[in-house]
Amino acid sequence: MNGAKVELRGLRRNFAGTLALDGLDLTIEPGELIAFLGPSGCGKTTALRCVAGFEQPDEGAVLVDDKDITRVPANKRDAGMVFQSYSLFPNLSIKDNVAFGLRVRKVAAAKRHARAQELLELIGLPHIGERFPHQLSGGQQQRVALARALALEPRVLLLDEPLSALDAKVRISLRDEIRRLQLSLGITTIFVTHDQEEALSMADRVAVLRAGRLEQVADPATLYDRPATPFVAEFVGTMNRIPGRVSGDKVTVLGQLLPVDGEVPATPDVEVLVRPEAVQVTPDAEAIGMVLVSSFRGSTARLRIQLGDTEVLADVPGHDTTRLAPGTRVRVSLVERPVLVSAAAPQAQSATVEGLVPQHDVV
């Protein structure tokens, strides 16, 4: 079993006035695990459903190994899919669920049961074949759904937020499990998620979607370190927005002059996007900065620092927390390297910083 190449060409899909896909172009290499990442409504699920055949694009084409399958009905496509939740057939035993596709293809009972058993062993649940879906935990159900999706040896595996309904702990173990299986089978896999941590930790490449368009596609490290646009920068990981002023291709921020990376906005007043780990903090009784809150995370600690009328998040080594306790006066500086900027959004400052903290933490 090896993976197929999947191409999305100019996919466009309109739902009663809402543009779900707005000309999406993307090539997925054989054997690759690509994550579609984006906020609700960005079109990632629609794109996946176009590949599965549950959705017909208004324009554009889906190609698998250079063959146009856009008009092939869903039940004739060579792609296994795992749904968000509760997709196991409740009236069939686990074994029969896994063997469903083989039964539809009229494979002999003995053969399909043997194959089902093989798959149950593959997902590490060899003893549950006789049980029914409602007797399994959510994590077990999703494993079985994965086994069912793999039963017909598809050349493409589609995962539609398969972990989002699970407990945090199960989620992490299952995501490693999926990645392990995917690598050993070498199957081309599209993984839809809104959880950037999931996307970054599992995928070979991450495609960030926004309003039906591809914002950036890159490997996780590039995406994190060199986001192509402010949207990606903000959606992936935590980001500070610090007021700055552009002059030429440089920007002055916190008293430092740093080169601007990427596009330079027309207005001189900008916000400079800086990762918390690119913020350096040193105790200094004379400085204006003050530590407000310190949350310890083991190897690092995240500080919330008051800096005049803005707040800045900074990640410092965990052992520094004692000398950077809340109330400590600190000097703040940025690591010397090119930074991304975006046009200032007046009201966004504090709201964005606070809003980002709980949602998009990367530890």
Letters for 18-57 (x = contact with other proteins by CB under 8 A, - = none) are x-x-----------------x-xxxxxxx-----xxxxx-
Q: HSE of 12 in the Cβ direction (CA atoms, 13 Å)?
A: 7
Task: Report residue 166: phi and psi, to 5°.
Answer: -105, 165
Q: Under the criterion CB under 8 A, does residue 91 sit at the interface with other proteins? A: yes
Q: Which of the ranges 83-91, 272-280, 281-289, 331-339 carries the binding residues for other proteins, by CB under 8 A? A: 83-91
4, 69, 79, 181: which one binds other proteins (CB under 8 A): 79
Closer of 49 and 175 to other proteins (Cβ): 49
Task: Kindly determine how many residues on this chain lie close enough to bind other proteins according to the rule CB under 8 A.
Answer: 52
Minimum separation from the CB atom of position 38 to other proteins (A) = 8
Residues 160 to 199: which contact other proteins by CB under 8 A? 161, 164, 192, 194
Any idea what DSSP says for residue 83?
-
66, 90, 168, 327: which one binds other proteins (CB under 8 A): 90
Residues 117 to 136: which contact other proteins by CB under 8 A? 134
What is the Cα–Cα distance from 360 to 356, expressed in whole angstroms? 6
Among the listed residues 274, 275, 268, 276, the one whose alpha carbon sits nearest the alpha carbon of residue 343: 268
Residues in the chain: 363
* Number of other residues whose CB lies within 10 A of the CB of residue 313: 22
Closer of 70 and 252 to other proteins (Cβ): 70
Task: Report residue 298: phi and psi, to 5°.
Answer: 90, -105
Q: How far is CA 344 from CA 8, 155, 172, 340, in A?
A: 35, 46, 37, 12
DSSP-derived pairing of the beta strands 79-82 and 156-160: parallel
Residues that bind other proteins (CB under 8 A): 15-18, 20, 38, 40-46, 52-56, 71, 73-77, 79-81, 83-92, 100-101, 103-105, 134, 145, 148-149, 151-152, 161, 164, 192, 194
